Amino acid sequence: MLRAIPPDLDAAKVAQIDALLDRAQAEHDVAIPLAIESGSRAWGFPSPDSDYDCRFVYVRPIARHLTPFAHRDVIEYPLVGDMDANGWDLAKALRLLLKGNAVIVEWLRSPIVYRGQAWFRDAFLDFAHRAAAREAIGRHYLHLGERQRRVYFGDGLAVPQKKIFYALRPAATLRWLAQRPDQAIAPMHFPTLMAECDPPAPLAAEVAALMAAKAQTRELGAAPLSPTVAAFIDGEFERARALFETGRARAPEAVIADAEGFYRAVVERVGAGRLN
- Which domain, by its residues, includes 219? 134-244
Please count the other Cβ atoms lying within 10 Å of the Cβ belonging to residue 122: 12
Whether 264 maps to a domain, the answer reads yes
Asked if 113 and 204 sit in the same domain, the reply is: no
Whether 100 maps to a domain, the answer reads yes
Contact 135, 252 (CB under 8 A): no
Asked if 50 and 123 sit in the same domain, the reply is: yes
Asked if 12 and 85 sit in the same domain, the reply is: yes
pLDDT bin (cut points 50, 70, 90) of residue 177 is very high
Whether 43 maps to a domain, the answer reads yes
pLDDT bin (cut points 50, 70, 90) of residue 207 is very high
The CA distance from 207 to 54, in Å, is 26
Strands of the chain, DSSP E: 2-4, 31-37, 52-59, 74-76, 83-89, 113-116, 159-160, 222-223
- Asked whether residue 69 carries a pLDDT value surpassing 90, the answer given is no
Asked if 18 and 45 sit in the same domain, the reply is: yes
Per-residue pLDDT tens digits for 115-152:
999 999 999 999 999 999 899 999 999 999 999 999 99
Asked if 59 and 181 sit in the same domain, the reply is: no
Q: Are strands 2-4 and 31-37 parallel, antiparallel or unpaired?
A: unpaired
Instruction: Say how many domains are in the chain.
Output: 2
- Asked whether residue 110 carries a pLDDT value surpassing 80, the answer given is yes
Whether 276 maps to a domain, the answer reads no
Question: What value does the mean pLDDT take over residues 183-193?
Answer: 94
Q: Are strands 222-223 and 83-89 parallel, antiparallel or unpaired?
A: unpaired
Question: What value does the mean pLDDT take over residues 62-80?
Answer: 88
Percent of the chain with pLDDT over 70: 96
DSSP element (H, E) containing 167: helix 165-179
Asked if 11 and 124 sit in the same domain, the reply is: yes
Per-residue pLDDT tens digits for 79-90:
888 999 999 999
pLDDT bin (cut points 50, 70, 90) of residue 273 is low
Contact 257, 130 (CB under 8 A): no
Identify the pLDDT of residue 162. 86
CATH code at position 110: 3.30.460.10
Percent of the chain with pLDDT over 90: 75
- Radius of gyration from C-alpha coordinates of the chain: 19
The CA distance from 202 to 120, in Å, is 41
The CA distance from 240 to 259, in Å, is 28
Asked if 162 and 51 sit in the same domain, the reply is: no
